[in-house]
Amino acid sequence: MNKYAAVIFDLDGVICHTDKYHYLAWKALADRLGIEFNETINDRLRGVSRAESLEIILEKYDGFLTAEEKANFAAEKNDLYRAMLQNMSTSDLSAEVRQTLELLRQKGFLLAIGSSSKNTPLILQQIGLGGFFDKISDGNNITRSKPDPEVFLKAAEYLGVEPGRCLVVEDAAAGVDAALAGGMDVAAIGSAVEYGKATYNLDQFADLLKVVGD
Ligand code: BG6
Ligand code: MG
């Protein structure tokens, strides 16, 4: 029997590259407030909720924002981000990712999304994967953001698969920690590789096929 029955994918930075839009939207607002913001700080936002991302950005802010101002700031970032998402299309899903997902399904694995993003349905729709995954667990059904394991445990529960038989795919340190805390193996890709704590490190998405076996 295969060790894994299901694969749970992070979305931003794994299935598609919305991470660049998150960066640009936060950067535009940070510039306006005169807050230092760069790729290094941006890496800390991977996998982290919108509200918590804002708190990380405000570490470099000298002024004070009320709760209402913070909520407005986060809403404005989201409006900007969603406007950028309108430019995404099926061409933002690479052939490698699409083919790998199809092969995993053919091999019989259940496939789910485990993302902190409340924009998950829109993004999947834009890239032509609306309705593709067996289950979706995202920012709309969780109360605690990664590195808490809630989003992945919910995905496993929705799939009806025990955590020990799920493999998570992540590009974020917070996501690697979340998967491990949930008792799941995790394959790191992109910037999560250098974190060094994942069960497997992938050079490219299609390497997943070697990791899961038949
Ligand atoms: C995660 C991203 O997938 O979603 C984070 O890696 C982002 O950078 C988080 O902050 C929340 O996204 P959204 O779309 O709900 O603002
Ligand atoms: Mg990610």
Of 12, 43, 177, 185, catalytic: 12
Instruction: Summarize the confidence of residues 10-32 as an average pLDDT.
Output: 95
For atom 2 of ligand 1, the residue with the nearest CA is: 47
- Which pLDDT band, with edges at 50, 70 and 90, does 183 fall under? very high
Instruction: Provide the pLDDT for residue 213.
Output: 82
Nearest ligand, CA of residue 168? 2
Instruction: Provide the pLDDT for residue 15.
Output: 98
12 noted as active-site residue: yes
Instruction: Summarize the confidence of residues 45-55 as an average pLDDT.
Output: 94
Nearest ligand, CA of residue 15? 2
User: What digits encode the pLDDT tens for the residues 76-132?
Assistant: 999 999 999 999 999 999 999 999 999 999 999 999 999 999 999 999 999 999 999
Q: What is the 3-state secondary structure (H, E, C) of the chain?
A: CCCCCEEEECCECCCECCHHHHHHHHHHHHHHCCCCCCHHHHHCCCCCCHHHHHHHHHHHCCCCCCHHHHHHHHHHHHHHHHHHHCCCCHHHCCHHHHHHHHHHHHCCCEEEEECCCCCHHHHHHHCCCCCCCCEEECCCCCCCCCCCCHHHHHHHHHHCCCHHHEEEEECCHHHHHHHHHCCCEEEECHHHHHHCCCCEECCCHHHHHHHHCC
Instruction: Provide the pLDDT for residue 159.
Output: 98
What is the pLDDT of the chain when averaged over all its residues?
96
- Which pLDDT band, with edges at 50, 70 and 90, does 1 fall under? confident
Closest ligand 1 atom to Cα of 78: 16
214: pLDDT strictly greater than 80 = no
State pTM to two decimals: 0.96
Instruction: Summarize the confidence of residues 175-187 as an average pLDDT.
Output: 98
